[in-house]
């Protein structure tokens, strides 16, 4: 009797153990989970650039504010000067107007001062242009192709990893997904590494725009343009096609999951196994509800 009870308990323990093993195998950790801790998305009544997610966007934001304060100073000075002139030289105070037509000092000042202002603006602007153009020595390269109306991402450093990214339709949104921004297959990139984008189009003019990462390039049929970025913080970042590319122009969001390098490498293995044949466009270029879900 005791032997049968022990056998039954042993069998039950074995079943529980096997169940835990099976559950562990089926519930593999999500390699993009680190990106869920921070979301850099637009919000209502936003009045400025999004929070910079890359050194390039930080420099763009700095230059924007730098030039803006210079412009504010010029506008303020001109407004004060105009108010002074209207008050000091009005007809009631000057019944006999001055006949002076030239003033050497003023003419020198209004030439020299604008030149100096242009100099203090153009120097950091040129530095930023050279910084943006330096896409040499990237850690990895992603070829981005715009289509009507979805994106295709091909990871040059991971042979075979080429997949499409469609906007999640409004009626299929899941908790945590954002309307008109979330996609079925986000681009996944490593944090702290230089990422080069090779951008082109398969049909019409598109725009590859990542406002928080400092990337803005046209996707032009028959040619390629390059850009790059380095993401400084794990999180989810959003962009959009900002060229009017046709009927479903608004259905081309860009979602990026930025994760630590080890998680990115783990994701590539998962993506190679699950995104097979996902680069092939559907028969009709419609959102995800028209796309086979075999790759999900």
The DSSP-derived string for 214-249 is TEEEEE-BT--EEEEEE--S-EEEEEE--S--STTG
Structure pTM? 0.79
In this predicted structure, which of 51-55, 269-273, 288-292 has the lowest mean pLDDT?
288-292
Q: Other C-beta atoms within 10 Å of 127: how many? A: 12
The ranges assigned to domains in the chain are 55-92+106-133, 140-287
- What is the C-alpha separation between 282 and 258, in angstroms, rounded? 28
Q: Tokens 């339709």 appear where?
A: 169
pLDDT of 67 strictly over 90: yes
Rounded to an integer, the average pLDDT of 42-65 is 92
Residue 11 has pLDDT above 50, yes or no: no
Where is average pLDDT lowest: 74-78, 172-176, 214-218, 253-257?
Answer: 172-176
Closest CA to 166 of 260, 280, 11, 52: 280
The pLDDT value recorded for residue 28 is 63
- Going from the C-alpha of 186 to that of each of 91, 99, 166, 275, 296, the distances in angstroms are 68, 71, 9, 12, 12
What pLDDT score was predicted for residue 293? Answer: 35
Are 203 and 187 in contact by the 8 Å Cβ rule? The answer is: no
Q: Which residue has the tokens 């890359």?
A: 54
What tens digit of pLDDT does each residue of 199-240 get? 999 999 999 999 999 999 999 999 999 999 999 999 999 999
Position 97 scores a pLDDT of: 79
267 with 234: CB under 8 angstroms? no
pLDDT value at residue 154: 95
Look at residue 85 and tell me whether its pLDDT is greater than 60: yes
Q: What gap in Å lies between CA 97 and CA 215, rounded to an integer?
A: 56
Q: For residue 12, what pLDDT is reported?
A: 44
CATH code for 140-287? 2.60.40.420
pLDDT band at residue 96 under the 50/70/90 scheme: confident
Per the prediction, the chain carries an average pLDDT of 84
More confident residue, 22 or 74: 74
DSSP state of 221: B
Q: How confident is the model at residue 92 (pLDDT cuts 50, 70, 90)?
A: confident
pLDDT at 43: 87
Side by side, which strands form the sheet with 194-201?
162-165, 150-155, 140-147, 194-201, 225-230
Q: Measured between alpha carbons, how far is residue 294 from residues 182, 278, 291 in Å? A: 19, 9, 9
Q: How many whole angstroms separate alpha carbon 36 and alpha carbon 168? A: 17
Query: Whole-angstrom Cα distance, residue 177 to residue 157?
Result: 29
Tokens of 171: 């009626």
User: Is the dihedral angle over the CA atoms 205, 206, 211, 212 positive or is it negative?
Assistant: negative
**Position 48 confidence tier, pLDDT thresholds 50, 70, 90:** confident
pLDDT at 23: 36
């Amino acid at each position: 009797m005791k032997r049968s009870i022990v056998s039954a308990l042993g069998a039950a323990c074995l079943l529980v153990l096997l169940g835990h093993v099976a559950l562990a195998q089926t519930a593999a950790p999500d390699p993009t989970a680190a990106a869920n801790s921070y979301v850099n998305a637009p919000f209502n009544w936003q009045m400025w650039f999004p929070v910079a997610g890359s050194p390039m966007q930080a420099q763009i934001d700095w230059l924007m504010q730098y030039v803006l304060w210079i412009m504010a100073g010029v506008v303020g000075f001109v407004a004060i000067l105009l108010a002074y002139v209207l008050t000091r030289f009005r007809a009631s105070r000057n019944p006999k107007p001055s006949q002076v037509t030239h003033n050497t000092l003023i003419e020198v000042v209004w030439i020299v001062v604008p030149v100096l202002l242009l100099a203090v603006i153009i120097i950091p602007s040129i530095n930023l242009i050279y910084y943006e153009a330096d896409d040499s020595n990237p850690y990895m390269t992603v070829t981005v192709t715009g289509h009507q109306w979805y994106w295709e991402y091909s990871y040059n450093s991971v042979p075979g990893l080429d997949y499409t990214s469609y906007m999640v339709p409004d009626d299929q949104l899941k908790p945590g997904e954002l309307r008109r921004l979330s996609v079925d297959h986000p681009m996944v990139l490593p944090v702290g590494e230089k990422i080069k984008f090779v951008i082109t189009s398969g049909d019409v003019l598109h725009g590859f725009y990542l406002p928080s990462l400092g990337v803005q390039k046209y996707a032009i049929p028959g040619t390629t343009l390059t850009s790059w970025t380095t993401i400084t913080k794990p999180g989810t970042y959003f962009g959009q096609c900002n060229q009017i590319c046709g009927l479903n122009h608004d259905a081309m969001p860009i979602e990026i999951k930025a994760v630590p390098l080890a998680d990115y490498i783990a994701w590539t293995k998962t993506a190679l196994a699950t995104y097979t044949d996902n680069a092939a466009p559907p028969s009709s270029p419609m959102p995800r509800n028209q796309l086979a879900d075999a790759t999900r």
